[in-house]
Amino acid sequence: MAYDEDEQQARFQQWWQENWKALAAGLVIGIGGIFGWNAWQSHQEQQAEVASTLFSEMSAAVDAGQLQKATELHQGLIDAHGGSPYAVAASMRLAAARASGGEFEAAAALLRWSKEHADDSALSQLAQLRLARVLWAQGDAEAALVLLDQELGPYTSAAAELRGDILVAQDKRAEARSAYAQALASAPREARELLQQKLDDLADVAEAQDA
């Protein structure tokens, strides 16, 4: 028994001499990885806080009508934190302000960027819907309709209503009525009354189709 214990001890010592460096290196790497991960998480949190602050400052500038300042803050946010959700939210916020001021080209550029860079599909689809509105305001109804014919997820009803509005403007009343009916089928309660009014305004189309 004693011989076996001595032999086991000798084997362990031999194994230790052959492997202690690798074990020590693995321990150092493991500890370093833990501290590295914690440092990375801390850095990410700090960057998110900075991005959030920039977004708040930009939104305040928009609310104050200081669009030049807002544009500068937006560019700083894009340059430093272009991959963050705040960058997309800021672009859409600024796009709304530009569109309200009739600066449709600038608004369209901001919405295209938002659509391409949004990580969340619903946010990307919202940017697409708003881009369609801007394109129509620019006079490019056909480009707007192309966007509205694509998948828009939770904004399907709003997209169908906008399609109907564009078709009415093009005097395509039968197609417009179909679009409004599609919008009404999935519309939230608060939007139903207006959609029904739009359908009623096209009642002559339904009568002609039934005749």
List pLDDT tens digits, range 137-178.
999 999 999 999 999 999 999 999 999 999 999 999 999 999
Kindly list the distances between the CA atom of residue 162 and the CA atoms of 52, 101, 114, 172, in Å, as whole numbers in the listed order.
Answer: 32, 21, 20, 13
Count Cα atoms within 13 angstroms, Cβ side, for 166.
Answer: 25
Question: How far is residue 115's CA from residue 126's CA, in Å, rounded to a whole number?
Answer: 8
Name the pLDDT band for 203 (thresholds 50, 70, 90): confident
Q: What token pair was written down for 93?
A: 């916020």
- Cβ 131 vs Cβ 112: under 8 Å: yes
Q: What token pair was written down for 53?
A: 């602050």
* Residue numbers of the domain that contains 186: 156-211
Q: Is residue 6 part of a domain?
A: no
Whether residues 65 and 141 fall in one domain: yes
What CATH number should be reported for the domain holding residue 90? 1.25.40.10
Long-range contacts at 170-179 (CB < 8 A, ≥ 24 apart): 170/141, 173/202, 173/204, 173/205, 174/205, 174/209, 176/202, 177/202, 177/205, 177/206
Q: Is residue 15 part of a domain?
A: no
pLDDT digits (tens, 9 = 90+) for 73-132: 999 999 988 888 889 999 999 999 999 999 999 999 999 999 999 988 999 999 999 999
E-assigned strands of 68-115? none
Q: Is residue 175 part of a domain?
A: yes
Whether residues 77 and 108 fall in one domain: yes
**Number of structural domains found in the chain:** 2
Residue type, 71: T
Q: Is residue 11 part of a domain?
A: no
Whether residues 139 and 178 fall in one domain: no
Does the pTM surpass 0.95? The reply is no
Q: Around Cβ 151, how many Cβ atoms within 10 Å?
A: 10
Residue type, 189: R
Question: How far is residue 81's CA from residue 28's CA, in Å, rounded to a whole number?
Answer: 33
